[in-house]
Each structure stands twice: as C-alpha cells, then as structure tokens.
Amino acid sequence: MSSGRSSRKKKDAAVAANKRPPAAASPPQRQTQRRRQSAKEPEIQDIEDLFFSEEEAQRIRQALLEWYGLNRRELPWREAEEDVERRAYRVWVSEVMLQQTRVQTVVQYFHRWMSKWPTIHHLAQASLEEVNELWAGLGYYRRARFLLEGARMIVAEEVQFPKTVSQLRKVRGIGDYTAGAIASIAFKEVVPVVDGNVVRVIARLKAVSANPKDSSTVKKFWKLAAQLVDPFQPGEFNQALMELGATVCTPLSPSCHSCPVSIQCCALSISRADSSVLVTDYPVKVVKAKQRHDFSAVCVVQILGDEELSEGHRTNNGFLLVKRPDEGLLAGLWEFPSVLLAGEADLVTRRKAIDQYLNKHFRLNPRNTCDIVSREYVGENIHVFTHIRLKMYVELLVLHLKGGMKDLVSKQGKETVPWKCVDAEVLSSMGLTSGVRKVYTMVQKFKRETVAL
C-alpha cells in the first residue's frame, strides 16, 4: 500500500471512529465495512470538525484524575508548598528544565537549583555565569538565560508573581505552554497546556491524522485541550494528561491495556478493527529537517609561565578559555579557542586558521611573543545539537610566554574576546557544556597515553 493510500485509509477510519462510540468490530462487521469503503469512499473529516462533547470530556476527566491520584510519580516540584508564589516559581523552573530533557536528569538539577536559589528573589541576584555553570549539561542554554532575565524582570517591577496566562506571557522567555502550566498548576486558572505528550494523547483520542507540526493543527490541539480541562482541578488534570503521555501513551510502546481512557480512544478502536493501522500511527510522523554539518578546529591552549617549583612543575600556567558571544548558539558560555571551517580540512589548513585566530585576538605569535613547547593533534569528535552535527578537530597546543602570564594581559587589543586562564583543578570543577567537556576529556586521555609511552 502506498503512503498516500495508507494516509487516506487512516483518515477514513478516523471519521468512522469519531462518529460512533469506540468499540472493536467483529470479523463479519470488518468485512462489511471494507466492502462499503470499496463501494463508496466516505468524506474525509477535517480536523476542524473534531471536538470533545461535554459528556465525553467529563468521562475523560474523571477517569484520568482517578488514575493520576493512584499512579502519579513522586517528583520534587510536585511536593506541597503553601506559599503559592514559591510554588509558581518551582513550577516555572521545573517546566523549563523539563523541555527537551528527561525527568530523571532534571530531578538532580532541580534539587541543586532550589538549594542555590530557593526563591525568585535569590535567582534575580545571580549572575548569568553562575546560572550557566549550574545549568551545564542540560543543554538548550537559552532556557537558563530566559529564566534569569524573567526573574529579574518580575522582581524589578516589584509586583506579585504573575497569576494569569495573559500576565505570564509578558515575562521574557515564558511562552504559551509554560504560562499555561504555571497558571493552572499554581494559581488554578482553567487553561490548557499542550506539549508533545498532550499532542500525542489527543491525537490518539481523536485519531488526528493532520500534520501535528502545522500551525493550524497546533491551534486545534490547543482548542481540543481546552475542552478537556477540568474546571475544578485544572492543574491536576493538566499534569495527569502530561503524565499519561509520558508513562502510558508513549511514542513507540503505548500500554493501551492499562490506559484509563482506552474506551474513549479512537486510534485504539481503529487499530482493533483494522490490523494494518497501529495506535502508534498517531500522531502522524513528520520528516525531521536534515541536520546541518559543521566543522570546527578546536585548540586546547595550555600556557606555561616562567615560575617553576624545584620539582620542575610550573605554577604560573593554565588553560585558555574564551567566552562565546551573548547571542546565538551557546550564548555567553566558556569554551576552548575554536574556529569554524568551511568544510573538511587538513591539518595544515586547520592550524593556519587557529594561528590567525590566536594572533588576532591575543597577539600570540610563536615567532615573537611565545615559544611552542609542544603541538599535538589529539583527534576528532562528533557533537550533535538539535539541528547541527558538529565535527570537531581537536589539538593540544602548549605555549611558553616569554613575558609570563602578565605578557598575555598587556598585549590585549581591540579584537580581544572575553577570556580567562584557569588551572586544571578549576577547569575540572567548572560547569562546562557537554561538548567542551568531551574535548577536555579527550585531551586528558591523550596526555595520560602519551606519558605512558
């Protein structure tokens, strides 16, 4: 069966499922249904025609809330908190952390965050560097910056924590989903939330065969979610709906036998009536955009000064780190000096690019300002972002400054980027991004193996 015919078949089945109470058809009935379909093709139901009746919504609310009360996971941001504004802050932090990140990973970060900044006022006093260091490893660092900027904005206005979706949407970095979560969970506003889990649950409940990424389809999901929200327990219901998607109605292996709303599920009804259609066919799979392939020359620069201990170890030395621009990918984070390349490049080309970078920004020139103690190619590593596949060529460059570390400071010019020099102990304890950590781990391993030889 071609993909076009398969898609049409799912749509036709969805029409039938949404027009009758979900129930498994007997074999004779299935044969009759197929004969009718071959004789006359039913009209394809548009997503705009889908809705939850009040009776249907009430049944789903009751079943889902009962299930959630018995099966909810114990998570730190769900703990009882009498101070409603503090609860709102905890919900905000947790929801931002949970975007694109697994729950198990978030738990430890959430505990550390709340220990360091227990209230929005504590967070507002933090620096971006402190926030980035604690966030290191969670990825999508713009989320951390928006949290800090939003906290500063709320505190600076000297008003109460925003309580409604319309108020929350005015805060830097808070979108429709986060606003809905905070407003419903902390302040009991009767508003929906729509994330990937909610889209999946609703797409299966209504057998939605439209592209879930299309803007008009997304708006319809919000309308359908709004029809379901429990008017008395909006926060509990929204959490229940997301919990169902995360633990039962999963992308690849849904546990339909233990689903509290399986009776209302059109996708399950269709699947039982037609073995060629699976519950996991909903929502429709969207082809992901092809990742961009980037290439980078990364140079771990270790600078040695003149001061030495009797054992021969230098005390005035460290690793050079540069700060990324305040806008764009990994904004404001620390990394080793690196240069983006036009594509695959040989060693000579890469070293020429790095040398130009170091001379331009730090006036580090082996002929005049420093001596090369050693320069070794360490290896390559692939680091994957959501939309970028970055191939990093890593080398270790050990330099001896003729004028010591002070010489590096004195030679700063207009082209100098923000930088700092840290020793190995500090570097190991810094909150580095996973990509920078990979590079440093490669260098450490390379050094150990070189010494062993």
* Residues 327, 249 share a domain: no
Task: Say yes or no: 359 and 396 in one domain.
Answer: yes
Q: What is the pLDDT of residues 57-99, one digit of tens each?
A: 999 999 999 999 999 999 999 999 999 999 999 999 999 999 9
Q: Determine, yes or no, domain membership for 356.
A: yes
**Would you state the pLDDT for residue 308?**
43
Q: Is residue 174 part of a domain?
A: yes
CA distance 110 to 279: 34
- Token match 């050094």: residue? 447
Q: Are 252 and 334 part of one and the same domain?
A: no
Q: Does 303 fall in a domain? A: yes
Pairing of strands 334-335, 292-304: unpaired
Neighbours of 55 (CB within 10 A): 8
Residue closest to 218 by CA, chosen among 186, 247, 195, 185: 195
Q: β-strands 388-401, 370-384: how paired?
A: antiparallel
Residue 87 lies in a domain: yes
Q: Are 253 and 392 within one domain?
A: no
Instruction: Write out the chain's pLDDT in tens, 453 residues.
Output: 444 545 555 555 555 556 544 444 434 344 434 433 433 333 345 677 899 999 999 999 999 999 999 999 999 999 999 999 999 999 999 999 999 899 999 999 999 999 999 999 999 999 988 998 899 888 888 999 999 999 999 999 988 899 999 999 999 999 999 999 999 999 999 999 999 999 999 999 999 999 999 999 999 999 999 999 999 999 999 999 999 999 999 999 999 999 999 999 999 999 999 999 999 999 999 888 888 999 999 999 998 866 543 344 444 578 999 998 877 778 778 999 999 999 999 999 999 999 999 989 888 887 777 889 999 999 999 998 878 999 999 999 999 887 666 666 655 655 668 888 898 888 888 878 889 999 999 999 999 998 765
Q: Is residue 6 part of a domain?
A: no
Do residues 113 and 247 share a domain? yes
What is residue 163's predicted lDDT score, i.e. its pLDDT? 96
Burial of 107 by CB count in 10 Å (0-12 exposed, 13-18 middle, 19+ buried)? middle
The residue length of the chain stands at 453
Q: Is the domain of 86 the same as that of 208?
A: yes
Q: What angle do CA 220, 225, 229 make, to 5 degrees?
A: 155
Q: 371 and 255, same structural domain?
A: no
Catalytic residues: 95
Give dist(CA 257, CA 363) in Å, integer.
67
Are residue 267 and residue 312 in the same domain, yes or no?
no
Report which of 379, 378, 400, 380 is spatially closest to residue 389, judged by C-alpha positions.
Answer: 380
**Closest by CA position to 397, among listed 361, 435, 418, 366:** 366
Positive or negative torsion for Cα 334, 338, 340, 343: negative
Burial class of residue 124 (count of CB atoms within 10 Å of its CB; 0-12, 13-18, 19+): middle
Residue 210 DSSP symbol: S
CB neighbourhood size of 35 (10 A): 9
| Four-residue CA torsion sign, 160, 164, 170, 174 | positive
Same domain, residue pair 436 and 354: yes
- 413 vs 401: CA distance, rounded Å: 17
DSSP collapsed to 3 states, 83-119? CHHHHHHHHHHHHHHHCCCCHHHHHHHHHHHHHHCCC
3-state SS assignment for residue 338: strand
Question: DSSP state, 9?
Answer: H
Q: Are residues 358 and 393 in the same domain?
A: yes
- Which pLDDT value is given to residue 1? 44
107/142 same-domain check: yes
Residue that terminates a domain, selected from 273, 304, 323: 273
- Report yes or no on 104 lying in a domain: yes
Where is the domain boundary, 208, 238, 273?
Answer: 273
CATH number at 424 reads 3.90.79.10
Token duo for residue 36:
């009718």
Say which CATH number the domain at 208 has.
Answer: 1.10.340.30
Query: In this structure, which long-range contacts are made by residues 65-73, counting pairs with CB atoms below 8 Å and at least 24 apart in sequence?
Result: 65/230, 65/233, 65/236, 65/237, 65/240, 66/260, 67/240, 67/244, 67/260, 68/236, 68/239, 68/240, 68/243, 68/244, 71/243, 71/247, 72/239, 72/240, 72/243, 73/103, 73/243, 73/247
Residue that is last in its domain, among 244, 273, 302: 273
411 in Cβ contact with 343 (< 8 Å): no
CA dist 30 and 393 (Å) reads: 60
- Name the domain count of the chain: 2
Domain enclosing residue 339, as ranges: 292-451
Q: Are residues 165 and 250 in the same domain?
A: yes
